[in-house]
Structure 1
Amino acid sequence: MTYQVCIDIGGTFTDCLVSDSTGEINIFKSPTTPGEFHKGFINVLHVAAEGYGLAPRDFIAQIKLIVHGSTVSTNALVERKVATAGLILNEGHADILTLREGPRKGAFEWRLDYPEPYIPRRLTRTVRGRIDARGRELEALDEDGIRAAAGYLRQAGAQAVAVGLLWSVVNPAHERRARELIHEVWPDVPVTLSHEVSSVPREYRRVVAAAIDASINPIIRKYVGELQTALGASGFVGELLLANCVGGMMPAQEIIRRPIYSVMSGPTLAPMAAQALTEEADVIVGDMGGTTFDVSAIRNRQIIIAPDAMIHDDALGIPKVDVRSVGAGGGSIAQVDAGGLLVVGPHSAGAWPGPACYGNGSTAPTVTDANVVLGIIDPDYFLGGKIKLDRALAEAAIAPLAERLGISVLDAAYAIHTTSNHNMVAAIEDITIREGINPRESFFVSGGGATACHIAEMVDILGLERYMIPRFVAGLSAFGGLISDIRWEESATLLTQSREFDREGVERLLAQLREQGKRFLDAAHVAPEDQLFEYVAMGRYEYQAWEIPVQFELRDGRLADRAADDLAQAFHRMHERIYSISNESELVEFTNWRVQAIGRRPSQQVWRKFALGEASGAPVAARHRPLYVHRLGGLTEVPVYDAATLGANATLQGPCVVEATTFSAVLLPDHTGTMDRYGNLTVQVAREAALAKAA
């Protein structure tokens, strides 16, 4: 037997999804180990080994592939625990990171402190030398100045260096020479060149991307090294792939080379899973864990890519899968603010001590405590009974809050539950409406063990008709990693327009980018027959500030005869969808071109070998228990179904609860669930009921 594994580290639990060579998939969970993530990584492999009845070393030796969604770089940036990086810029441009892009602030935000630059001025040096917008050298690079800057930064305590010189996206000669000169005087230092990290012509975005990449380079090198050492010591001889933020996997050596692509990579796995689980065109993906609720979206079968993700007050500087996060998880703490209003999150009880019902000493009321009191979670069957929860401790934690609100403990628990739901709905509305997606006409795929407790009411609030609770809802991100392709993106700047379209220049540039992408796939050992390439142009109306993506095709390396018109029309349609307006008489400019290199993993479809047997007769409830159903006035005795006993095409009518070892799902009145052959529960909401609830 051989195994493929995906490990996703969350705020409370580390998820491990294991697929064997027969197509059977199992999920295992172990508490996350903050500060020593590689230990939690190995711990959950030991839990999986126990599940298969094998000694840890015997199990790990049979693993062919491990896919991992890392949170290390994201946590380092959020907590500002990054390495000290130095920055080298052109003379006269020392304040790029201070001035940023001059974004407009809210009209009433008149007391804003101007944020500090990502790399301080004392670690920023400038040198003479200039390339113009056409790639011509106007002034030779001051090579002695580069050497002096490197020496200064070394003495100042820098651990990595970022280089951001003007118009390197058109002619990178000065940046490449700068790296050679830095390594002459400082051989071991990691050097990030802005044009290798980001191809956008915007100066600030390129430079901040290089600065972030340099600052997390030593951290990612250390983490990946520790992980590889720990795996090797445990008997692992297979392949290790790490998730990137553009929606795919990369070999470990590639993520070390460009560590910025590991930032926010974990949450990108959930939409990859959703894309495989459904053929719906527009999909909302909600993934609720212990600390946060991550929401992403699929539009026209394409995962939405964000050009302007933020880390604190700075842009990330590179495109990434658009995932919005709010502090709404199972461990989110509820409190009454100074105005007497209930607030849930963003603070969390985390992995330790966790919610009050865990019995680890916490007395703060959390969303998980509320769900125990409401009967959504069975305290005797949490994680299949491996962890026993204490309902009395949950009630005791909520009681002071209930007293302050002047309501019963049960009503206070529902207030916590529904407030958390509305927080998550706000995040869903933000990503869908802003991206030209009507949430009412979308399909909702639930992810994260906690989401199944909340999705039914969220769907009612939004007025959706259909949603899915996948078989691996508690490990949706891990499942996404297990089935994801190897993916990379190469991009470059070439400015042309729809009326004077530089077809030869575009084709020449795309051929270069495709060759770079092919080299990446070859290095990742992807067979030629499994290599695919997709193409995207970034377009805008003349005088517009920001671009939107437009997909197109090449045939034998050639654009279509009417490529300019086709690209312009595709741009108009996408602009109208996102902004509800278009102007087909307007000139369209194309600024940036991208080639997405995709390496299909043939084994990624092994999960489709799994199929449930056909259901025989109506489902039989395993037991009944009281469940708080607000629409029915309080606690109501409902059937509880064991997900493991449900066959294909089994139909469930709400209100009811569906339980598995890793999740507890609620179906409300007017919700009808049907199990598909892969064990995913698709739920239909009566249209009239959905509209009435959303009104």
Structure 2
Amino acid sequence: MTYSVGIDIGGTFTDCVVMEAGKAPRILKCPSTPGEFERGFMDVLGVAAEHYGKSLSGFLKEVASIVHGTTVSTNALVVGNTAPVGLIATEGHPDILTLREAPRKRPWNWKLDFPDPFVPRNRTFPVGGRIDAQGKEVSPLVESDVREAVAHFRKAGVEAIAISLLWSIVNPSHELRALEIVRQLWPELPVSLSHEVNPIPREYRRTISTAIDASLRPVVGAYVGALDRALRKAGYENRLLIANCVGGMMPPDEIVAKPIYSVMSGPTLAPIAARHLTRDPDVIVVDMGGTTFDVSAVRGGQIVVTPEALIFPHDLLGLPKVDVRSVGAGGGSVAWVDVGGLLRVGPNSAGARPGPACYGAGGTEATVTDANVVLGIIDPDFFLGGRIKLRRDLAEQAVGRIAARLGVGLVEAAYAIYTTCNHNMIAAIEDITVNEGINPRDSYLVSGGGATACHIAEMADVLGLKSFMIPKLSAGLSAFGGLVSDIRWEAVGSLHTDSRQFDADAVNGLLDRLRRRCDGFFERAQVPPAQRAYEYAFMGRYEYQAWEIEVPLDLEGGSIGPKDLAVLVASFNQMHERIYGIKDESNIVEFVTWKVTAVGASGHRTASVAANPAGVPVPAPKSRRRVYVHRLGGMAEIPVFDGAACAPGAAIAGPAIIEESTTTILLLPGMTATADASGNYRVTVE
């Protein structure tokens, strides 16, 4: 087998990164196909096959593995195109999804209406029976209620059922019996159980995650099935892996079994790629696509994970995921003037169909890409290396309409769109840094996304950054992240104990059970024993504290000994101080939930950073063109360099343009970009 392939589907383009043994990775792109994403997936494979001079079937026969980051589940949730779900809850508790977690988030934002529950009350059915917090059966499950619920759901037209009963994480017998009854009455219906999807003691989070999981089962199952059939029909016979939201890959069967893990999974691959590209311990990772701008972070060499992930616009995902913040700022983001005469950019996007006006595919609204064409940053004849020809006249017409509304000139309007988009993205960076008590100037920034390099110089200038990286594969950063990511799968269990009366035997027993579940996953995923590893973590809190935080564990032998309690407490205190700025070493620490992660190591652990040769000559510019540079007072003629001609060690000083086949880099005065041994541009600022 010669090739490994990573594919990431975005709102505008589908990215494909191909790694060939002994050669530099290649990035290829084609337009996404909303509504039929599997077609765009196969289209970009066809582009890759053509690039290597092979037929599609001939190319696929030489592909050892395909990894895929998908937005299908995220898009389904955002637009409300999920399957209608019926929820079976414990009698007396049908309002879990309505009441949520009072007090509400952002209580002072008066613009927020109280949202509707993810599953409406007319599809929520309470059933009798009760398990207590110790796992004892207080009253038996009323099986007639479950049968009545199934009959009700049939009439309501549900396509999946979520079962979330109180304290099923301690004793799941009632949920399992309810599943048996549903299977007897409606065997083909997808069912999600809360103690399997998200076994934590938080009722709302456990229930919302189970409901979301159930709603995605038909959607993700249909997509993965269609994708698998298309690949097999085209002649592919090897392994397909799909990205999950915890920063790794899973086999298709595992994603179909727990589709909630595919939510927001594509953007989680960007920080994995960034961690591979640099050895800096603290990194800000940005990724600007056609529709959104995603921001994530690496702290102390670890990718930041959050249990507070929101699903647009107001529902929690319910389980920890890689912390990625997104705003509607991309190359296809539409510029508009509000009723007050103020310019806005996004969140609406022209997407892949019809796309920006300059695409000439029917779009008429001005977008960020149109502004970049008007400003001279993007060469209409060299978009995607010349594979797509843009229409400057259509871009000028679209931006001209905005200019007329604002009462300014064409170039002024284009720059207003450009800088407004920049400040939207800067606000997203500040949200994950400044608002978290972190100075962005203390972190190294890695810029991903095909459109970001047009904007990152001005953004870095505003933020006061002294250095940043534009990777060679920036336009396919997430697809590359998939290729260097591990296989990851989590087993979670709840067991409450504290530092005052720590029950080491019970905790070790739970960890052993979770490890055995991980071993089962390794077998199903066909991970060789030499590539297997385990990672441990717990969710803990101070006594009387409302919320838990996740703390990683370093366990030798996978068990907790008598001397390890002090290490657990110290680790919790350290993490609490890092997150909240304070710690209370005299307080009792409560341990609530335990997690073992199965890791099938990919072998790509750290960046290969080689010293660059000194004295490498700067290539001659391939041309010069007029580009808007605000520092120079407007349109100025600046040199344009061919990225393919930049040898390792070559340093290009701004103002300048560097053109790669999949991205355009704008350098401001005082910035110098030096190509490293892998073709990445490391930019320093005077």
TM-score for both structures, normalised by structure 1: 0.95
Within 5 Å, give how 1:19-418 maps onto structure 2: 19-104=19-104, 109=109, 113-311=113-311, 312-418=313-419
Residues 614 and 648 in structure 1, CA contact (< 8 A), matched pair in contact too: no
Give the Å deviation of 1:111: 7.0
Inter-partner Cα distance in structure 1 for 2:265 and 2:208? 18
Inter-partner Cα distance in structure 1 for 2:387 and 2:468? 29
- Residue 692 of structure 1 corresponds to none
Inter-partner Cα distance in structure 2 for 1:106 and 1:650? 49
Amino acid at match of 1:253: D
Residues 554 and 560 in structure 1, CA contact (< 8 A), matched pair in contact too: no
Amino acid at match of 2:507: V
- Residue 530 of structure 2 corresponds to 529
**Cα distance change on mapping 1:317 and 1:187 into 2, 3 Å:** same
- Residue 596 of structure 1 corresponds to 597
Amino acid at match of 1:397: A
Inter-partner Cα distance in structure 1 for 2:613 and 2:278? 20
SS at match of 2:507: helix
Which runs of 5 or more residues in structure 1 are unaligned? 687-695
Amino acid at match of 1:250: M
Give the Å deviation of 1:583: 2.1
- How many correspondences in the alignment? 685
Inter-partner Cα distance in structure 2 for 1:121 and 1:74? 24
Residues 289 and 330 in structure 2, CA contact (< 8 A), matched pair in contact too: yes
Give the Å deviation of 1:605: 7.8
Query: Is the deviation greater in 666-675 or in 232-241?
Result: 666-675
- Residue 520 of structure 1 corresponds to 521
**Cα distance change on mapping 1:580 and 1:607 into 2, 3 Å:** closer
Give the Å deviation of 1:163: 0.5
Q: CA RMSD in A?
A: 2.0
Give the Å deviation of 1:556: 1.4
Residues 379 and 389 in structure 1, CA contact (< 8 A), matched pair in contact too: yes
Query: Is the deviation greater in 108-117 or in 186-195?
Result: 108-117
Inter-partner Cα distance in structure 2 for 1:560 and 1:39? 53
Amino acid at match of 1:64: A
What does the per-residue CA deviation read over 1:557-600, in whole Å, with 9 as the maximum and x for residues that have no partner?
23354322222222222222222222222222221111121101
- Residue 470 of structure 1 corresponds to 471
- Residue 427 of structure 2 corresponds to 426
Inter-partner Cα distance in structure 1 for 2:178 and 2:613? 64
Query: Is the deviation greater in 362-371 or in 617-626?
Result: 617-626
Give the Å deviation of 1:76: 0.9
Residues 213 and 258 in structure 2, CA contact (< 8 A), matched pair in contact too: yes
Give the Å deviation of 1:22: 2.8
1:587 aligns with 2:588: yes
**Cα distance change on mapping 1:111 and 1:255 into 2, 3 Å:** closer
Inter-partner Cα distance in structure 2 for 1:672 and 1:25? 25
Give the Å deviation of 1:49: 0.9
Inter-partner Cα distance in structure 1 for 2:76 and 2:479? 22
- Residue 690 of structure 1 corresponds to none
SS at match of 1:556: helix
**Cα distance change on mapping 1:166 and 1:605 into 2, 3 Å:** closer
SS at match of 1:644: helix
SS at match of 2:544: coil
Residues 135 and 170 in structure 1, CA contact (< 8 A), matched pair in contact too: yes
Give the Å deviation of 1:328: 0.3
Amino acid at match of 2:177: R
Which runs of 5 or more residues in structure 2 are unaligned? none
- Residue 578 of structure 2 corresponds to 577
Amino acid at match of 2:431: D
Residues 17 and 475 in structure 1, CA contact (< 8 A), matched pair in contact too: yes
**Cα distance change on mapping 1:614 and 1:242 into 2, 3 Å:** farther
Give the Å deviation of 1:339: 1.6
Inter-partner Cα distance in structure 1 for 2:174 and 2:677? 58
Query: Is the deviation greater in 194-203 or in 495-504?
Result: 495-504
**Cα distance change on mapping 1:616 and 1:460 into 2, 3 Å:** closer
Inter-partner Cα distance in structure 2 for 1:29 and 1:168? 46
What does the per-residue CA deviation read over 1:525-571, in whole Å, with 9 as the maximum and x for residues that have no partner?
11111111111121222222112221221111233543222222222
Residues 277 and 607 in structure 2, CA contact (< 8 A), matched pair in contact too: no
Give the Å deviation of 1:609: 12
Residues 531 and 600 in structure 1, CA contact (< 8 A), matched pair in contact too: yes
**Cα distance change on mapping 1:112 and 1:8 into 2, 3 Å:** closer
Give the Å deviation of 1:607: 10
1:487 aligns with 2:477: no
Query: Is the deviation greater in 677-686 or in 577-586?
Result: 577-586
**Cα distance change on mapping 1:2 and 1:111 into 2, 3 Å:** closer
- Residue 693 of structure 1 corresponds to none
Residues 24 and 610 in structure 1, CA contact (< 8 A), matched pair in contact too: no
Give the Å deviation of 1:172: 1.4
**Cα distance change on mapping 1:152 and 1:404 into 2, 3 Å:** closer
Percent identity of the aligned residues?
57
**Cα distance change on mapping 1:449 and 1:138 into 2, 3 Å:** same
Inter-partner Cα distance in structure 2 for 1:185 and 1:423? 52
**Cα distance change on mapping 1:292 and 1:110 into 2, 3 Å:** closer
**Cα distance change on mapping 1:155 and 1:400 into 2, 3 Å:** closer
Give the Å deviation of 1:407: 2.5
Give the Å deviation of 1:452: 0.8
Amino acid at match of 1:551: P
Give the Å deviation of 1:102: 2.0
Inter-partner Cα distance in structure 1 for 2:72 and 2:460? 33
Residues 619 and 651 in structure 1, CA contact (< 8 A), matched pair in contact too: no
Inter-partner Cα distance in structure 2 for 1:446 and 1:566? 37
Residues 22 and 609 in structure 1, CA contact (< 8 A), matched pair in contact too: no
Amino acid at match of 1:510: L
SS at match of 1:333: strand
- Residue 550 of structure 1 corresponds to 551
What does the per-residue CA deviation read over 1:25-45, in whole Å, with 9 as the maximum and x for residues that have no partner?
111111111101111111111
- Residue 664 of structure 1 corresponds to 664
Amino acid at match of 1:167: W
